[in-house]
Amino acid sequence: MIVTANEETIAQAARILRRGGLVAFPTETVYGLGADATNGQAVARIFEAKGRPRFNPLIAHVADLAAARDLADFGDAALALATKFWPGPLTLVLPLRPGARTRISELVTAGLDTLAVRVPAHPIARRLLAAAGVPIAAPSANISGRVSPTSARHVEEDLGPAVDMILDGGPAQTGLESTILALSPVPALLRPGGQPREEIEALLGFRLQDYRETGVRAPGQLASHYAPRATLRLNAKSAGPGELLLGFGPRAPEGALNLSRSGELREAAANLFAYLRALDAQGPAQIAVMPIPEAGLGEAINDRLRRASAPR
């Protein structure tokens, strides 16, 4: 059931969470499917609703840095990153504190000795976290492997009655999931996302390695993900027979859906998942996507497109 987020529905959503229910809520990145991270049965319902493999751990969302430090060990680099980029689209993978091991459900960490934590910036997510008073485990609120939701309607389409309440806070502004950064045992970029790599590297003072170069575990980074029903063809100039075009920039044909006519990556990121869903709903065999530059948010956009086009 979709409800407009306000004082009353947020309080109601917090009660649902504390009783072990599932609440979908807006974050600045994408909509999340939330459960009380300390309640194993509630977290199990997330995996059932999404059809998500159990080896794939979840992000714990917390209200502020103090709450995050209750759960995970922050070194100097993590502290500097959190201070600069939180609240916002950055997830830190850090050693789970011994004291938190008994509090956080093992399903959240998938048995790893690390925890992914983030403080979301969206005001509704923040009010929900404050009202619930518990860390909220939340993956993106879509069927596992499919396109992430950037509106309450997307959540309803994918998960419908499996969710006890969908808090509607309008379209997600960033439109791409958070950047995931591991700091232990060595710094590694697990997933490019809404917080561009360049700004993180500027703060850290060194270039971030991809997790593939480091051996850091990234159980969720499956080759095929974010996939619409149609197959995808990347770096297309135009649409061929049986294809619909997803355009980018001023050179795209007039009639095509365009991620950003002016070529702005921020606008393209915000539109990406909704446009993929809209084109897919027309039932084409294939979606042809024009090239997107690899810098800034472009890295995360291209990561999602590559995985949406990977063999399934």
Output phi, psi for 251, to 5 deg. Answer: -85, -5
Instruction: Report, in Å, the least distance between residue 55 CB and Mg ion.
Output: 14
* Identified binder of Mg ion from the candidate list 38, 140, 151, 258, rule CB under 5 A: 140
Q: Which is nearer to ligand TXA, 58 or 279 (CB)?
A: 58
Output the six-digit token pair for 85.
């980029």
- Nearer CB in complex with ligand TXA: 158/177: 177
Q: What is the distance between the alpha carbons of residues 136 and 37, in angstroms, rounded to a whole number?
A: 5
Q: Rounded CA gap, 64 and 77, in Å? A: 17
**CB 66 → ligand TXA: shortest distance, Å?**
19
Which stretch in 20-28, 81-89, 134-142, 160-168 sits in contact with Mg ion by CB under 5 A? 134-142
Cis preceding-peptide flag for 185 (omega within 30 of 0)? yes
Summarize as ranges the residues that interact with ligand TXA (CB under 6 A): 27, 29-30, 32, 56-59, 91, 93, 109, 112, 114-116, 138-140, 177-178, 180, 190, 217-221
Smallest gap from residue 265 Cβ to ligand TXA (A):
17
With CA atoms as reference, report the closest residue to 171 among 280, 301, 275.
Answer: 275
User: Binding partner of residue 112 among ligand TXA, Mg ion, none, CB under 5 to 8 Å per kind?
Assistant: ligand TXA
- Count CB-CB contacts under 10 A for residue 261: 15
Helix 197-204 × helix 76-85 angle, to 10°: 130
Q: Applying CB under 5 A, what is the total number of residues that bind Mg ion?
A: 1
Written as one letter, the residue type at 248 is: F
109 vs 140, beta carbon nearer Mg ion: 140
Q: Which residues make up the interface to Mg ion (CB under 5 A)? A: 140
